[in-house]
Amino acid sequence: MAGWGWALLSPLALLVAAQLVAAPDPYGEECRSKTYPPSGPTFKGNVPTYVINLDLPPSKRWDSLMQDKKTELKTVVQNIKDIANTFFPSGKIVDIVDNKIAHLTATLPYPFNEELQGIANSSGIPLGEIVIFNIFYEIFTVCTSIVAEDKSGKLYHARNLDFGLFLGWDVKNNSWTITRELKPLVVSLDFQRNNKTVFRSTNFAGYIGMVSGVKPDLFTLTMNERFSLDGGYIGIFEWFLGRRDGMWMGFLTRTVLENATSYQDAKDKLAKTRLLAPAYFILGGKNSGEGCVITRSRTAALDIWDLDIKKGTWYVLETNYDRWKPPLVLDNRRTPAMKCLNQTMQENISLPAIYDVLSTKPVLNKLTVCTTLMKVYNGHTETYLRECPDPCSPW
């Protein structure tokens, strides 16, 4: 009977899969236009800017930001704890976080260990919970990133930051709880040394790594999670167990933005540094052809997809799937984004045009926290909080 069951199930499964592939996306729509400057129901607001003074001791760099955002950060951290207690009602997980993980902070590289301690001190949140808040970005970030070059050779870099997958669906508000609560934490940061900008980024207050950033007149950078069996969970467990030769993704992007001296230098560091979790690094430069998606395992670069204007590749785009594989049927943001870019055409590409692409459902979805637009020239960056009105894809 078991054999008959499989014989019947397999064609049925194939039929269902085929129908899913062929069916139109119920949340899809025609490519948006004229959504910039941001306004209307998909625009939730602007974000504040803070200076992070790298000349200060690491433990003091985030004090001003934390004084303003500690209440919102406590709300998000408490929500994460509530989700953990739902799965582990004994409270042991939270106890481990508060009493065990804090001690592992000393194993993190300088200055990140001291910055995390400083944030805990300023916010009044236990150090272990601040560490867990930072770990979440290694494993729960679902994004869309684009680097495009126009006919004159100017480069544009933009991304939707989608976060909160499976972290509490609010039935009443038809939204992801963590996604909604993170929006008040989104900030633009200007990292300065000697009163001069070293780099700029879009961040969540309390997170010391970087998911989006620009080093003025050198390069732009975003990071997307890469779904893999050899995923971030494995690297994090190895770190807990004592193997610490891999670098946290957010720490690597932060280090590259702070210290890399050119597009090529950044590209080499992102491609070769051992990581705690697999990732996609999307990098843009200042010269024609300087743009790529680096597909990373924890130990090596599996693929580097470069802009190639002569061969017609005037943009590179990454969601959360390897470009040589089809995206998950239930999470295909790649195809509609590429359709809208192709429809726009290279001669019309600009940051407003890319904002239109990132405003088109399901590229814009219930997980989208914000949209960031960047140009390398003078370190231009702008970030807008987003909302996806119903009907809208949950991811």
Contacts 24+ apart (CB under 8 A), 57-63: 57/114, 58/110, 58/111, 58/112, 58/114, 58/115, 58/118, 59/114, 59/115, 59/117, 59/118, 59/121, 60/118, 61/115, 61/118, 62/115, 62/118, 62/119, 62/122, 62/208, 63/118, 63/122
Read off the tokens for 317. Answer: 């785009």
Question: Which residues, other chains included, contact 70 with Cβ-Cβ below 8 Å and sequence gap of 6+?
Answer: 122, 123, 124, 125
End-to-end, the C-alpha distance of the chain in Å comes to 39
DSSP 8-state assignment for residue 91: S
Cα–Cα separations (whole angstroms), residue 185 to 25, 84, 179: 31, 21, 10
Assess contact for 142 and 225: CB atoms under 8 A: yes
Residue 281 and residue 368: Cα distance in Å, rounded?
A: 19
| Catalytic annotation, residues | 143
